[in-house]
Amino acid sequence: MNKNTNRKMMTIMNSVAALLLSACLGTSLTGCSLPSGNAPSNGKVLTKKYSVSGFKHLENLATADIVFTQGPVTRVEAKGDADYLSCIEVVVQDSTLILRLPKKEAKRFKDVNVVFTVSCPELCSVYQRGVGDISLTGTVKADDLSLNVNGVGSLKAEALDTRHLTVRQRGVGSMVLQGKSQRAELEQKGVGSLKAKDLEAEEVVARQAGVGSLSCRASRTIAIYSSGIGSVDYYGDAQVVEMKKSGIGSVEKHD
């Protein structure tokens, strides 16, 4: 192994360490620790409806599971720990629905079980920066859609239907994508995996620079850039228009 490869490995591993430290710190700030002397939740379960204006973007900064369904009505509901729901902030800013918990409140809670049910007519982007799972259920149709995971939480989509899809996985959590897209730009720079084998895309640009794995499928063209430790697995009969590999991870084609 030459010196350049060693340097790349050290850079990647330092990035991984930073990601893991950030994830641990983020988890402690979003409600997973209960310091002595603070009263715990009373355990009561509450169902709550939120009155919000229209939004096209979704951002999670809290500890919560989110189930999104595309539909004609804008709706935000939650079910879970009553004390936690009384503290969490649900706001719409710049057409973005934001879920967040003030830091001064976060240390009161641990083992929080909260599920938000969200729907709106049009979805343009999702940012998962918190803890928990975001599930896009049913068909989610969009011209341009951006999906991003930067925290500990994961994101799953079961039936995407997009013209242009942009996906960035830069955290610890995983992403699992299904559906179809004319063009998909996939980037994996974190520790978690990006699984898009069941996303039927015509054109794919795949970038892997992290530790986790990336899988994808293309029917027309694919460009692959691999500079990390993790693997790239691609499927389909697409023409490989560009292939650049500078990391130690593997790149493999599958039937």
| Whether residues 5 and 108 fall in one domain | no
Whole-model pTM: value is 0.84
Q: Which one of 123, 144, 160 terminates a domain?
A: 123
State the pLDDT at residue 43.
74
Give the residue ranges of the chain where pLDDT is below 50: 1, 3, 5-6, 8-10, 13, 17, 20-40
State the pLDDT at residue 151.
84
Q: Which one of 70, 96, 123 terminates a domain?
A: 123
| Whether residues 8 and 21 fall in one domain | yes
Which structural domain range is residue 216 located in? 1-30+125-255
Q: Which long-range contacts (CB under 8 A, 24 or more apart) does 159-167 make?
A: 160/136, 160/199, 165/199, 165/201, 167/194, 167/196
φ/ψ (deg, to 5) at 106: -60, -35
Strand 239-245 to 251-254 pairing: unpaired
SS3 17: helix
| Whether residues 212 and 200 fall in one domain | yes
| Whether residues 205 and 83 fall in one domain | no
| Whether residues 108 and 198 fall in one domain | no
| Whether residues 41 and 8 fall in one domain | no
| Whether residues 199 and 89 fall in one domain | no
Give the CATH number, domain containing residue 69.
Answer: 2.160.20.120
Structure tokens at 85: 């729901």
State the pLDDT at residue 102.
87
| Whether residues 139 and 222 fall in one domain | yes
| Whether residues 108 and 131 fall in one domain | no
State the pLDDT at residue 25.
40
| End-to-end CA gap in the chain | 31
| Whether residues 62 and 129 fall in one domain | no
Q: Which one of 94, 123, 152 terminates a domain?
A: 123
Domain tally for the chain?
2
| Whether residues 194 and 100 fall in one domain | no
State the pLDDT at residue 106.
67
| Whether residues 138 and 218 fall in one domain | yes
Phi-psi region of 80 (alpha: psi -120 to 50; beta: other; left: phi over 0): left
Residue 64 to residues 53, 75, 141, Cα–Cα distance (Å)? 21, 17, 24
